[in-house]
Amino acid sequence: MKQWVKKLVDQLDMDWGSSNGAKKPEGPVLSEERATIVYMLDIYNKNLFEIPKHQVRKVRAKIDTFAKDIVHAQNQESLNDTLFELRQFFSSYRIDEYSFVQNTIDDFKRIIWEFADHLSEEVNSETYAQSDMDKSLAQLREAVESNSVEELRAKSREFIDLYLKSQTTSNERRSKRMETVKKNLSSVKRQLMEANQTMRRDHLTGAHNRRSYDEQIKRYLQLNELDKDPITLVMLDIDFFKKINDNYGHDIGDFILQEAVRMLQESFSREEDFIARLGGEEFAVILPGCDAKAASKIVDDAMAKIRKEVFIHGDHQIRFTVSMGIAQLIPGETADTWYKRADGALYESKSTGRNKYTIAGPTATKKVA
């Protein structure tokens, strides 16, 4: 079995069927074709978002079931049945997902167009008023050239009255327009901020999401080129999280994710610390101004705190642990290479017992309990 397939099986954290206190069985041997499908389902599952008619936890449970059925399919007929159901589900869900995104975009477009239409109406009103002024001014010029005192007096009065009325109307219109513009701008700004927060925050836990993480990493890399201060990336997973979902249900799983973020925020509590949920039970923490040694001290304290915490939800009392990988940024390193070193250190922690952290070296890893 290829290394990436073995790593995928290890990361799934599924119960592969141990019984009678026997030694924990190895994960199943997967073909690359099945592993590829399971991998795609896992990635999709980690990046779900709430849409009408589809609660994330229910969709996640459904996709988990598909993944298990694909892994455990004993023959081609069983696999074909699962793949048929998966195609039906995915086709329906993807249409609803696309409709939600499109409707959201359409709503935003409508707000912008209404704002633009209002401005256009105001501009047209100003244009019409200016046209009347130009016409009256032209008539006044003709009266001057006609040498008629009566006509000059009449056109002068007409122009002055029109000018005063125009200025009064213009001032009133300008005042109303400014008030309306302020309200519209406030509305657009509020909705843009809400959309921006929605796009950059994980809907379940309130942590930053993958998109926000990618943007922040780029900023820190640019800043590091200037100040050269140490900065460390911590990758972490909740150990055996899928078993929590399987044993207690996705409601409890969601509760554990929320509690995990709460405890991470308490442990990594500096204003500059950045916590993101990258998907599923995988998180990243960026620690500006920390080298690997300082980061490991914070990580050690965080893990100790999580180990002794008892999480109560209804009648359930749950404990869990986390595994972490630590990588200090190497000068000149790319975001992708930095991430891979931290992720490799995390994998080392998980594959050597879990409930520990590993500090990544420049090319290899240094294990730390």
Tens-digit pLDDT profile for residues 85-122: 999 999 999 898 888 888 877 776 776 777 667 666 66
Q: Which helix (H) or strand (E) holds 156?
A: helix 149-200
Q: Which residues contact 244 (CB under 8 A, 6 or more apart)?
A: 238, 252, 253, 256, 318, 320
Residue at 30 is within a domain = yes
Q: Which residues contact 318 (CB under 8 A, 6 or more apart)?
A: 244, 248, 252, 256, 310, 311, 312
Same domain flag for 261 and 317 = yes
Same domain flag for 214 and 345 = yes
Residue at 91 is within a domain = no
Residues of the chain with pLDDT > 90: what percent?
A: 35
Residue at 316 is within a domain = yes
Per-residue pLDDT band at 330 (split at 50, 70, 90): very high
- Give the span between the Cα atoms of 247 and 256, in whole angstroms: 13
215 catalytic? Reply is: no
Cβ pair 357, 368 in contact under 8 A? yes
Same domain flag for 145 and 65 = no
Same domain flag for 229 and 327 = yes
Per-residue pLDDT band at 22 (split at 50, 70, 90): very low
Mind listing the pLDDT tens digit for each residue in 34-65? 889 988 998 888 778 778 888 877 888 889 88
Mind listing the pLDDT tens digit for each residue in 285-296? 999 999 999 999
Residue at 97 is within a domain = no
* 356 pLDDT more than 80: yes
Same domain flag for 155 and 279 = no
User: Which is it for strands 311-313 and 274-279: parallel, antiparallel or unpaired?
Assistant: unpaired
Q: Which domain holds residue 179?
A: 105-200
Domain boundary among the residues 138, 170, 200 is at: 200
Same domain flag for 306 and 227 = yes
Helices (H), 201-272: 210-227, 241-248, 250-267
- Give the span between the Cα atoms of 278 and 211, in whole angstroms: 9
Cβ pair 282, 264 in contact under 8 A? no
Same domain flag for 272 and 353 = yes
Residue at 160 is within a domain = yes
Cβ pair 155, 140 in contact under 8 A? yes
Same domain flag for 221 and 359 = yes
The CATH number of the domain holding residue 363 is 3.30.70.270
Same domain flag for 164 and 48 = no
- Give the span between the Cα atoms of 45 and 175, in whole angstroms: 52
Reduce the DSSP state of residue 298 to 3 states and report it.
Answer: helix
Same domain flag for 116 and 251 = no
**Maximum CA pair distance of the chain?**
118
- Give the span between the Cα atoms of 117 and 114, in whole angstroms: 5
Q: What is the mean pLDDT of the chain?
A: 82
Residue at 341 is within a domain = yes
Lowest mean pLDDT among 59-63, 76-80, 327-331: 59-63
Cβ pair 122, 173 in contact under 8 A? yes
**CA neighbor of 279 nearest in space, from 354, 232, 211, 233:** 211
Residue 257: C-alpha distances to residues 54, 60, 171 (Å): 19, 14, 57
**Residue 127 or 346, more confident:** 346
- Six-digit token pair at 226? 């200037």
* Strand ranges in 126-230 using DSSP code E only, listed in sequence order: none
State how many domains the chain has: 3
Mind listing the pLDDT tens digit for each residue in 140-197? 777 777 767 777 677 777 878 777 777 787 777 777 767 776 776 676 666 666 666 6
Same domain flag for 248 and 352 = yes
Cβ pair 274, 208 in contact under 8 A? yes
> Among residues 259, 281, 282, 348, which one is catalytic?
281
Domain boundary among the residues 200, 225, 241 is at: 200
Same domain flag for 181 and 310 = no
Residue 177: C-alpha distances to residues 119, 121, 129, 167, 189 (Å): 8, 10, 15, 15, 17
- Six-digit token pair at 100? 């939600």
Domain boundary among the residues 200, 221, 249 is at: 200
Beta-bridged to residue 368, according to DSSP, are 357
For residue 69, the one-letter residue type is: D
Residue at 98 is within a domain = no
- Give the span between the Cα atoms of 3 and 309, in whole angstroms: 35
